[in-house]
Amino acid sequence: MPKAKGPEPLSSDMLCFWRCEQDFDFKSTAELSEAKSWLGQDRAVDTIRMAAQIGHNDFNAFVLGNAGSGRQKIVRSILDNAAAVKTQPDDWVYVNNFEQPHMPTAMKLPAGMAKKLKSTIETLIDELANDIPALFESEEYQTRRRTIEQSFSTAHEQAMSKIFEKARSNGLGILRGPMGFTVTGMKDGEVLKQDEFEALDEEEQHQIETAIEDIQKALSEVLKSVPASEKDRRRQVEDLNYSMTTAGVDQAIGSAQNALLNQEHIKEYLAAVRRDVIENAELFLIQDEGAEIGAFPVATTKHYAKPQFQRYRVNVMVSHETGGADGAPVVQEDLPTLANLIGRIDFSSEMGTLVTDFTKIKPGSLHRANGGFLVLKARDVLTEPLAWDALKRSLRTEEVSIYSPADRLSLTSTLSLKPDPIPLEVRVILIGERMHYYLLAALDPEFNRLFKLEADFNDHIDIEEATVSAYASLLGSLAHSQGIRALTAAAVARVFVESTRMTGDTERLSLNVDELSDVLREADFWAGQDERDDIDAADVERALSERERRASRVRELSQQSIARGTILIDTDGTRVGQINALSVLQIGDYRFGKPSRLTARTRMGSGKLIDIEREADLGGPLHSKGMLILQGFLAATYATNAPMSLWASLVFEQSYGGVDGDSASAAELIAVLSSLADVSLDQSFAITGSINQFGEVQAIGGVNEKIEGFFDICNARGLTGRQGVLIPTANVKHLALRKRVVDAVERDEFRIIPMTTVFDGIETLTGMSCGKRGKTGTFPKANFNRRVEDQLMHFADLRKSFAKSAKAEGGDNESE
């Protein structure tokens, strides 16, 4: 039987990238200059800069990439620089709409003017609260008021005096009672009694009655004129009040206008305030309960806080400091609820009733970011009810309208406010995962119109001569920014190895600065424990091993089950139709490799290959795809001139969960071929890799974890020097193995063998040559492939003879 040479194992130098600190021209990162740019993110940075500088409103940006790439820090840095050179935006306030109080008026003011307007109006109200009562208690007002009162009082008294005199001259008297005035006859200064009146002759009675009627008529005329006279008196008093108030208010308003630089729209608002103050001057005459009453009210600096003056307050929505640095705002909203985005209207309870007014309007982040930039996390906006819809509406209409969820869903009939919408000019930067971007682009027709720019952050950077030194500077800058020790060259080399492991590719370095920072900070802790001045490779190694130790409880339980024989895994000897396949399990952020026993049984059949995992509804679609590819390879490679007369079953032994992925398809094929050829497979090896229909072994994921998982089992049982793992040749560039595995390979105690085709694996596991078809179209005798094909041909012959026998038996039955 011809022996197979098989592929050569990999040397230890090929298992771990960048093992020597001599590859660097520095001793410590303290010698390196700080990283000057964001390494590997040029495309995304240029996009964000364009979003920050372009003038069109709908060029908002979506920053996509994996968490930890430094997206938020980079976005904030670029926006801060862009905002510093922009013009400072206007202030915005809400003021009372005196004609329609339920529709507060939004007022735009020059930067820094909002607080000044608020302060000026408060001062104005304070002054008027002192001045107006003083005007009404002044000697001039009192004199003019008394003149009006006396004038009307004198006229009324004169009219009444004439009537009283006329009554006396006619021998009559006028009596005032609870029911008004009564006219009666008089005799000797006494009221004429009824019996005395009746004792008079008829002519005298008639004269008295006629005189009483005349006096009553005159008295009625005078009394009827009293309301009109009172109305005229009130009009004159009101005119007096108006003229006195107007003089005081005009003087105060003029001072306020001068203080506010005579802005046109401010002048319009002050004119409305003037009209309302004059019309409601009585509001300024309300005395506080318990306040001293004297010639003048007690001065106070907080008159504007009184409830009756709330109508004159200024509700500052957005204000910018004057005299400070110019620039636009950069707002990052971490809780983008509907209210936090577009603002809200608060209510207060008064006697069991909800009430509100324009002073209870609160700004949202869109108000604060107006004229500048707003940074949001896509997941947060999308998970908050109505927030995404409100954000799109604001960007589409270019204005911020304040409403509540109850208003939006028509859940309440409570009378509320309808404030003026505020014009919006803002650049929104959404930060999210790639999944968020592609789902929004596919499902939301408005998304691409509102967010025209995508800033896609790289997860890695290719290793080139220029990037190596830049990456080392990046690590130094991370250490400096975190306030931890500098890294030695050896530590940098060790971090490079871990960085390639993060990417799963020795030709690329990870740009996950958050995870790199975590490693450096843990390494700094261990360096401190050992009282080192710098972080060394041993500290990085300790940090990585401790991270793995913290998360490895489940891995250890799995390995203990194998070590105790609960889960059957062979690491020596040979078996027919049995092979060690490798898989990766992930719990949280921790991944580890786990070997599984894969077995195959074959016999004559109708060409059916049974995947027990799929039949039990435990196999996923990718695993099923791998099985179908396996069938295609078998049918096209062996016994092509005969029908496929094979029945085979495959199963992952002691697997009680789902199985998916095609990384075990090479192992499954070799197990089936071993059963067909009746050739034992070396159990000292585990294998991983997917195959195509030509038998080529393709790259798979998690190769480092898979190798380490099988190594740990072999190491626990004792390394023999024969054990190893077969991997796809395409995965060699992905190797960044832990030191324990590299050291074992260096001592020739463990082997890692690359496979280009499935035949490389067969030759390694069986020691037999597979052989190639000769000119006659057959495989050489005594080779592995010949044994497989001979068995398949034998199955075909058995099936053919069985069919003939069955037919013959059927014919005899018919003749009988």
Architecture of domain 568-796: 2-Layer Sandwich (3.30)
Is pLDDT at 467 greater than 80 in this prediction? yes
Give dist(CA 144, CA 733) in Å, integer. Answer: 103
CATH of 16-34+458-551, one of 1.10.1740.10, 1.10.579.10, 2.40.30.110, 1.10.8.60: 1.10.8.60
3-state secondary structure of 143: helix
H or E segment at 562? helix 553-563
Q: Could you tell me the pTM of the whole model?
A: 0.80
pLDDT in tens, 186-245: 766 677 677 666 667 777 777 777 877 777 777 777 777 777 777 777 777 777 777 877
Is pLDDT at 321 greater than 90 in this prediction? no
The mean pLDDT of 28-41, rounded to a whole number, is 83
Is pLDDT at 618 greater than 60 in this prediction? yes
Confidence at residue 298, expressed as pLDDT on a 0 to 100 scale: 47
Higher per-residue confidence, 816 vs 32: 32
Confidence at residue 236, expressed as pLDDT on a 0 to 100 scale: 79
Using alpha carbons, select from 205, 216, 226, 277 the residue that is nearest to residue 248.
277
pLDDT range class, residue 294, cuts 50, 70, 90 = very low
146 exposure class (CB count in 10 Å sphere: 0-12, 13-18, 19+): exposed
Give dist(CA 36, CA 614) in Å, integer. Answer: 54
Is pLDDT at 729 greater than 90 in this prediction? yes
pLDDT range class, residue 316, cuts 50, 70, 90 = very high
Mean pLDDT value across the chain: 85
785 exposure class (CB count in 10 Å sphere: 0-12, 13-18, 19+): buried
The mean pLDDT of 270-285, rounded to a whole number, is 85
Cβ atoms 638, 602 nearer than 8 A: no
The mean pLDDT of 475-497, rounded to a whole number, is 91
pLDDT in tens, 121-167: 888 888 888 878 887 777 877 787 778 777 777 777 777 777 777 77
Confidence at residue 451, expressed as pLDDT on a 0 to 100 scale: 95
Domain ranges (residues) in the chain: 16-34+458-551, 41-87+327-457, 129-304, 568-796
Q: Which residues lie below 8 Å from residue 437, measured CB to CB, with a gap of 6+?
A: 62, 64, 378, 454
Give dist(CA 766, CA 784) in Å, integer. Answer: 9
Q: Which residues are catalytic?
A: 663, 706
Is pLDDT at 11 greater than 60 in this prediction? yes
The mean pLDDT of 499-515, rounded to a whole number, is 89
Is pLDDT at 54 greater than 60 in this prediction? yes
Please give the CATH superfamily to which domain 41-87+327-457 belongs: P-loop containing nucleotide triphosphate hydrolases (3.40.50.300)
Confidence at residue 438, expressed as pLDDT on a 0 to 100 scale: 94
Cβ atoms 723, 605 nearer than 8 A: no
Question: What type of residue is 731?
Answer: N
Is pLDDT at 260 greater than 80 in this prediction? no
Cβ atoms 39, 478 nearer than 8 A: no
